[in-house]
């Protein structure tokens, strides 16, 4: 398998075996034997068990070229530009919805997907909110946005009795200022932060009202000086190392930080919480770009990924819930029983889904976000 250098310089921690083949410009004019079978995948960083890719190649002879991103915007830009060269991409719900409307995907040839029956009907029907009739996409993983924290450092800074299970802990300026001392990071993603934090202001996660959205970005603007960095993947290692004490991040990524700290045995205890006011539940799904150069290999890859043991291997590795119901039988009990990964009923009640913004609203949000990021 070859790994393409991520455009923004982010490299998923896929292991040294992959790093060896970095830096090759693979799509543009790269010479390949005409009969070589390839699938070009563009997925979120820290989102797959690399052994699954190797096993797929061993079994099928299809080489995997794997490239990563850590936010939907870059994926959308590339797909809308056309000729991305990708055969499989993994947008989140609202982006899937928008890209379907823009004609970016080809319908799935379901006759070639014999493992479709393993998918989770409830998750697929939620995904149908973005992709009516489940024509273009199948769910890969789903998860939540919440607060990851270093238990000891946060207790030390905020005091033993301050609960961490509220968005107020990062949005209240005096609390954020204390967290600044031990390191606070947040996702660089208004499409996650705004719907996740809207319930804190008593608004619906999916509110399209500009006044509501501004409540969130005004609050973020006020605490921006306490945020070390807005970034959508660096917080994993920073939390694991104890370099920061809190991150507003994605469920599985925080739990990967916990796993790294536990494995390093460095005394760092990382925890994840969905704030009591509520947050966002999102779905990331596989889709095949309209101009994918290798659609048959893409379908072979999707069918492989839908095998229960394969889907479970990925969930066990990345700590996100799988969209595959049959996989549950192979998921490790500590993952299945972790409400941060497979939310329990009480957590479910606090979670909401969101849908795509229209273009005008998207431009408005981009302006709001620039102000949060740059202060201007
Ligand atoms: C994987 C992050 C995926 C979650 N690192 C974003 N929906």
Residue pLDDT, tens place only, 36-65 = 899 999 999 999 999 999 999 999 999 999
pLDDT band at 15; cut points 50, 70, 90:
very low
Whether ligand 1 lies within 6 angstroms of the CB of 320 is answered as no
Residue with tokens 């207790």: 155
* Distance in Å from the first CA to the final CA of the chain: 43
Whether ligand 1 lies within 6 angstroms of the CB of 142 is answered as no
Q: Is 46 helix (H, G, I), strand (E, B) or coil?
A: coil
What pLDDT does 36 receive?
83
* 339 CA to centre of ligand 1 in angstroms: 17
Residue 26 pLDDT more than 60?
Answer: no
The residue whose C-alpha atom lies closest to atom 3 belonging to ligand 1 is 44
* 70 CA to centre of ligand 1 in angstroms: 7
Strand partners, 138: 286
**Each residue's pLDDT tens digit, 238-271:** 999 999 999 999 999 999 999 999 999 999 999 9
* 89 CA to centre of ligand 1 in angstroms: 13
Tokens encoding 65? 């070229």
Tell me the CB-side half-sphere exposure of residue 366, using CA atoms within 13 A.
Answer: 8
Domains for the chain: give ranges and CATH numbers.
2-143+282-342 (3.40.190.10), 144-281+351-374 (3.40.190.10)
For residues 215 and 213, give the distance between their C-alpha atoms in angstroms, rounded to a whole number. Answer: 5
Whether ligand 1 lies within 6 angstroms of the CB of 192 is answered as no
Q: Specify the ligand 1 atom closest to the Cα of 44.
A: 1
Q: How far is CA 210 from the centre of its chain?
A: 25
* 83 CA to centre of ligand 1 in angstroms: 24
Our mutation pick for probing the ligand 1 site, out of 252, 272, 283, 341, counting the most ligand atoms within 8 A of Cβ, is 252
For residues 311 and 305, give the distance between their C-alpha atoms in angstroms, rounded to a whole number. Answer: 6
Q: Which of 201, 200, 206, 186 is nearest to 369 (CA)?
A: 186
Q: Specify the ligand 1 atom closest to the Cα of 282.
A: 7
Q: In sequence order, what DSSP letters do the residues of 215-264 get, joined into one string?
A: HHHHHHHHHGGG-SEE-SSTHHHHHHHTS-SEEEEEHHHHHHHHHHHHHH
What pLDDT does 145 receive?
98
What pLDDT does 35 receive?
73
The pTM (predicted TM-score) of the whole model is 0.91
* 160 CA to centre of ligand 1 in angstroms: 31
- Quote the mean pLDDT of the chain: 92
Sign of CA dihedral 99, 103, 104, 106: positive
For residues 213 and 207, give the distance between their C-alpha atoms in angstroms, rounded to a whole number. Answer: 8
Contact 322, 301 (CB under 8 A): no
User: Which residues are CB-contacts of 86 (< 8 A; sequence separation ≥ 6)?
Assistant: 40, 41, 42, 67, 78, 79, 289, 292
Torsion of CA 89, 302, 68, 34, to 10 degrees: -90
Please give the radius of gyration of the chain, using alpha carbons only, rounded to the nearest integer: 20
Contact 40, 294 (CB under 8 A): yes
Q: Specify the ligand 1 atom closest to the Cα of 46.
A: 5
Mean pLDDT of 81-93: 97
Q: Is 314 helix (H, G, I), strand (E, B) or coil?
A: helix
**Each residue's pLDDT tens digit, 108-127:** 999 999 999 999 999 999 99
Whether ligand 1 lies within 6 angstroms of the CB of 250 is answered as yes
Q: In sequence order, what DSSP letters do the residues of 53-107 get, joined into one string?
A: HHHHHHHH--EEEEEEESSHHHHHHHHHHS----SEE--BHHHHHHHHHTT-BPP
* 133 CA to centre of ligand 1 in angstroms: 24
Whether ligand 1 lies within 6 angstroms of the CB of 235 is answered as no
* 22 CA to centre of ligand 1 in angstroms: 22
Residue 2 pLDDT more than 80?
Answer: no
Whether ligand 1 lies within 6 angstroms of the CB of 45 is answered as yes
Residue 10 pLDDT more than 70?
Answer: no
Determine whether 302 is exposed, middle or buried from the number of CB atoms within 10 Å of its CB (0-12, 13-18, 19+).
buried
CB atoms within 10 A of CB 74: 14
* 36 CA to centre of ligand 1 in angstroms: 31
Determine whether 155 is exposed, middle or buried from the number of CB atoms within 10 Å of its CB (0-12, 13-18, 19+).
middle
């Amino acid at each position: 398998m070859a790994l393409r250098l991520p455009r923004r310089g982010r490299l998923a921690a896929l292991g040294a075996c992959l790093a060896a083949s970095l830096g090759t410009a693979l799509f543009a004019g790269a010479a390949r034997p005409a009969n070589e079978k390839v699938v070009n995948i563009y997925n979120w960083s820290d989102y797959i068990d690399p052994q699954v890719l190797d096993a797929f190649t061993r079994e099928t002879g299809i080489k995997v070229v794997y490239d990563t991103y850590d936010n939907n915007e870059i994926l959308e830009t590339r797909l809308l530009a056309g000729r991305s060269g990708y055969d499989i991409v993994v947008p989140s719900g609202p982006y899937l919805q928008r890209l379907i409307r823009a004609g970016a995907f080809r319908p799935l040839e379901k006759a070639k997907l014999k493992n479709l029956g393993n998918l989770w009907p409830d998750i697929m029907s939620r995904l149908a909110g973005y992709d009516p009739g489940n024509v273009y996409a199948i769910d890969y993983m789903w998860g939540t946005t919440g607060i990851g924290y270093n238990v000891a450092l946060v207790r030390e800074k905020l005091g033993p009795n301050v609960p961490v299970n509220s968005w107020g802990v990062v949005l209240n300026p005096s609390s954020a200022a204390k967290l600044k001392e031990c390191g606070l990071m947040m996702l660089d993603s208004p499409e996650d932060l705004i719907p996740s934090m809207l319930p804190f202001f008593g608004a619906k996660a999916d509110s399209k009202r500009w006044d509501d959205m501004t409540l969130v970005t005004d609050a973020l603007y006020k605490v921006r000086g306490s945020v070390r960095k807005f970034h959508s993947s660096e917080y994993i290692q920073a939390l694991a190392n104890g370099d920061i004490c809190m991150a507003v991040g994605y469920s599985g990524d925080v739990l990967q930080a916990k796993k790294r700290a536990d494995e390093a045995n460095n005394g760092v205890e990382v925890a994840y919480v969905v704030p009591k006011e509520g947050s966002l539940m999102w779905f990331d799904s596989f889709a095949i770009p309209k101009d994918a150069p290798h659609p048959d290999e893409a379908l072979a890859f999707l069918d492989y990924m839908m095998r229960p043991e394969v889907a479970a291997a990925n969930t066990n590795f990345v700590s996100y819930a799988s969209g595959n119901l049959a996989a549950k039988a192979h998921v490790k009990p500590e993952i299945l029983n972790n409400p941060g990964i497979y939310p329990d009923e009480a957590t479910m009640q606090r979670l909401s889904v969101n849908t795509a913004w229209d273009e005008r609203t998207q431009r408005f949000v981009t302006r709001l976000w620039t102000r949060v990021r740059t202060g201007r």
